[in-house]
Structure 1
Amino acid sequence: MDASQLALVFPGQGSQKVGMLAELGESYKLVKDTFAEASEALSYDMWDLIQNGDQQSLNLTETTQPVLLTASVAVWRLWCEQGGLRPSLLAGHSLGEFSALVCAGALEFSDAVRLVRARGQYMQTAVPVGEGAMAAVLGVDDAKIIQICAEAAIKGGVVEAVNFNSPGQVVIAGQVAAVDVAIEMLKAAGAKRAMPLPVSAPFHTSLMKPAGDKLAVALADIVVNAPSIPVVHNVHGKTESDPVVIKSLLVEQIFSAVKWVDCVETMVAAGISNTIECGPGKVLSGLNKRINKSLSCNNIDSPASLADALEATK
């Protein structure tokens, strides 16, 4: 395969689970070494948490974010160590964008681990627990969802379309009452499903602006370099080489919609025919295939899937 056809993608929150990467960690020292490096930055044993902890602890946003970033970076390092093809583009979903920037050499790993833990704390405290909600909507086109959210907001408060994950799959979020109103309106408009998600805050809404302000302060002290591999950003679905602009996009991303469909369409337009998902689960692989059926999608979270991905990109 030609390197220009390959993109590596990095998952966001929701892909974490107890026991993730266990086989990879037993088979490849580099995986545990990467987790040890992150554990040193955060002063707790991250590998022990993901192998022996409980799902509830793992699902705390301030824990989930560094854990998933570390898992993705470990898989990326393993891919490189095993002689995997260097991709021509990288992208990540929400938190995964930080993983992509680490792998592109734009962010130092230890800086990013601390940064995303803080990001998780900022996002969790921006809206008190119980006041925000998110819901997945299936079977309604994007424009109609945006329109219904605007109408529901008049009745119930803030509700916005926040994740454009694939055609016919959009996540909305906002204040509980407004999300409830929007769910009923979407069902009336013919949604196949409109169901609340088990999350603790309305991520990627304008309610997250205070978290963005805090992240901007934290980012001021972080060195960001021009990426050695272009990264497609969630906010606008384009690549960016200017470190100052990358910082501003990371801040904006917290309170802006994740335009994953745009990200994937940008990659396909650039000639990408294969994507490899680095980290636990196959969420992005499933979305990518729905966005463009011509894409060949692999994921890496075990020795077997690593071998498959290496073979698929020869």
Structure 2
Amino acid sequence: MSSLWVFPGQGAQQPGMLHRLPDEGVVRETLQQASGVLGEDILALDSEAMLRGTRAVQLCLLIAGVAAARLLQQRGAMPTFVAGLSIGAYPAAVIAGALDFDDALRLVALRGELMNNAYPQGYGMTVILGLAQHQVEALLSQVDGPVYLANINAERQMVVAGSDAAMQQVAALAKAAGASGTRRLAISVPSHCALLDAPARELAEAFSRVDVRPPQVRYLSATTARPVVQPERLRDDLAFNMCRVIDWRSTVETAHERGVTLQIEMPPGAVLTGLGRKVLQHATVVAFDGARLDSLVALSQEVNRS
């Protein structure tokens, strides 16, 4: 048996998410480390106003994920696998021992700025519920504006990215085709599509100056749904995941095939917990938020002893 720690992506952010982290020494140290590296009070980033910006959102998700995972590790819990959806790949790489937290902070700050500057307004992402991948792809072919398949979250949960007008057209077509719902996500950039090719190349240049090591915990790529071992492949995965389709469904299926019986979702929220239960039907799937810390540690240690 094995365990999987997952880290959510943009859209999961919540006002006050850093302030709600457990008041524990390792958490305070992580927050202080982030403030020191960035030269700013990171506890000012999780306000409702600041979370309207891509940079603040991505930094908060990175910091919250690393802080929570470090707390579990300090208590004796350890994952077999890690995986992150979009920006969640960065805290996953840190916890896997492949990327220093200091470097991750600087890279994520740059990542957020590059994405926001490329598309400051008029673009975003929309989730479509109740249609299969081939149905959504057929709808995309009917729209003239820039819009792409971005995320395969579940068998019948897809996310598209593009301009506001094009996404509205896709949403209308989806409803006419029998979709059970569509919803504009709290994401202000068109992630995981060709629109972000140029920012990804610029981020890759910054990545070339950063040390990336072989992961000490097995790292699953959410774009290929396969383990990544070589540092250069991991560097590529992190730098370019902003412009590549995320196949979260297949990523969790890969974990299932490798014997995962426990999935723990790092904060904030429980979006990936709901998606995980669709695949890991005979496993324990829980979120850090709302769970007792000692229960999470006990579950992890039980899996590790098996």
- Asked if the contact 1:16–1:59 (Cα under 8 Å) also holds between the matched residues in 2, the reply is no
| Paired positions, count | 301
Give how far 1:23 is off: 5.4
Q: Tell me, what secondary structure is at the counterpart of 2:86? A: coil
CA 126–288 in structure 1, closer or farther in 2 if over 3 Å, else same:
same
- Asked if the contact 2:8–2:271 (Cα under 8 Å) also holds between the matched residues in 1, the reply is yes
Which residue is equivalent to 1:113?
105
Extract unaligned runs of 5+ from structure 2.
none
- Asked if the contact 1:32–1:47 (Cα under 8 Å) also holds between the matched residues in 2, the reply is no
Q: Tell me, what secondary structure is at the counterpart of 1:274? A: strand
Measure the CA separation in 2 of the matches of 1:162 and 1:10.
Answer: 18
Give how far 1:49 is off: 4.0
CA 311–146 in structure 1, closer or farther in 2 if over 3 Å, else same:
same
Which residue is equivalent to 1:264?
252
Which residue is equivalent to 1:278?
266
Matches within 5 A, 1:63-212: 63-84=56-77, 86-130=78-122, 132-152=123-143, 156-212=144-200
Which residue is equivalent to 1:253?
241
Measure the CA separation in 1 of the matches of 2:117 and 2:16.
Answer: 28
Residue type matched to 1:14 in 2? Answer: G
CA 128–196 in structure 1, closer or farther in 2 if over 3 Å, else same:
same
- Asked if the contact 1:36–1:47 (Cα under 8 Å) also holds between the matched residues in 2, the reply is no
Q: Tell me, what secondary structure is at the counterpart of 1:151? A: coil
Q: Tell me, what secondary structure is at the counterpart of 1:95? A: helix
Residue type matched to 1:39 in 2? Answer: S
Give how far 1:73 is off: 0.8
Residue type matched to 2:8 in 1? Answer: P
Which residue is equivalent to 1:14?
11
Give how far 1:240 is off: 1.1
Q: Tell me, what secondary structure is at the counterpart of 1:135? A: strand
CA 23–17 in structure 1, closer or farther in 2 if over 3 Å, else same:
closer
Matched, 1:40 2:31: no
Matched, 1:295 2:286: no
Extract unaligned runs of 5+ from structure 1.
none
Q: Deviations over 1:224-243 (max 9, x none)?
A: 00100111101110011111
- Asked if the contact 1:133–1:174 (Cα under 8 Å) also holds between the matched residues in 2, the reply is yes
Q: Report the TM-score when normalising by structure 2.
A: 0.93
Determine what percentage of the aligned residue pairs are the same residue.
33
